Amino acid sequence: MNSRYATADIVGVNPIVAMPFTSQGDIDKRSFLRLLEHLATSGANGATLFGIASEFPKLADIEREWLAQAFVHTLSSSPLFRAISVTEHCTELAVKRAKYYQQLGADALMLLPPFFLQPSHDAIQAHIFAVLEAVEIPVMVQYAPGETGLPMHPEQLAAVAVRYPHAVFKIECNPPVDYTRAFIAQAPQASVLNGYAGLYMLEMLAAGGKGVMPGCSFTEVYVQIYRHWQQGELAEAQAMHQRLLPYIQRWMSHCEYIIQAEKNVLYQRGIINSDYCRHPGWPLTAEDRQIVSRLIEDFSLS
């Protein structure tokens, strides 16, 4: 089964889909579908479900099943590439999940390597290899040591790139630029995307990265920055990124903080019906909500 997209097509702005809940903490299906429809017209290149910003550890299996099917079906006629993250820490289960998402119609996968109980580097590499060997569609191998507590050497990722041409790499260590340069020096053929809310978006593009994977609440801002960069309008790209930095630098002080703040952006924009995050989370202050309102005004987000 081949994807609609090749590895080289996994570029540009690829936001992580937030997870809308009702004020009682249930999945808000209507808001979820409305959010997907919004992203389909945002100018993004792709969208990814079940990333950290999707609050994936707080979802039940039955919820994941409905969400994955709705995600693939709703965006089936969209130009967005549809990626779904495989987050199981058990290799056997991760392989089954990867095969299932490919069969379901995902255009790409994202893979969070296992970190619970600190598996060995050999075990992590075997896990990544097993998933890559199980599918034909592109797989974005995720490196997020700040969230997982698991450092990996550039040499480890380079070994994956050499062995598997359908691997893409999402690098979101802090800072990621030197790591990315070291990785690309050993695997120049590899495609690299950057997460971490796009804090280092322009530096990563300059270092050879192919795109950014931020949250989804102000996707249009990242799209404008990326288009300026594509067109060689570097001063314009830099100016817009500098305007965005104070917001994302504040919120990225804690992962739960930016998840909650971005969800409040979506709520204030009228895209989702509630900014509820399942617990434990990060309560916003009145000042936080005012800052969200300021971002929406600063970037003319409806």
What pTM, to 2 d.p., does this model score?
0.95
Counting as low any pLDDT under 70, the low residues of the chain are 1-3, 147
Per-residue confidence (pLDDT) for residue 275, from 0 to 100? 98
What is the chain written as a DSSP string? ---SS-GGG--EE-PBPP--B-TTSSB-HHHHHHHHHHHHTTT-SEEEESSGGGTGGG--HHHHHHHHHHHHHHTTTSSSEEEEEE--SSHHHHHHHHHHHHHHT-SEEEE----TT---HHHHHHHHHHHHHH-SS-EEEEE-HHHH-----HHHHHHHHHH-TTEEEEE--SS-HHHHHHHHHH-TT-EEEE-GGGTTHHHHHHTT--EE---STTHHHHHHHHHHHHTT-HHHHHHHHHHHHHHHHHHTTSHHHHHHHHHHHHHHTTSSS----PSS--PPPHHHHHHHHHHHHHTT--
pLDDT at 108: 98
Q: What is the residue-averaged pLDDT of the chain?
A: 95
pLDDT score at 4: 82
Confidence at residue 74, expressed as pLDDT on a 0 to 100 scale: 98
* pLDDT tens profile 240-257: 999 999 999 999 999 999
| pLDDT tens per residue, range 21-79 | 999 999 999 999 999 999 999 999 999 999 999 999 999 999 999 999 999 999 999 99
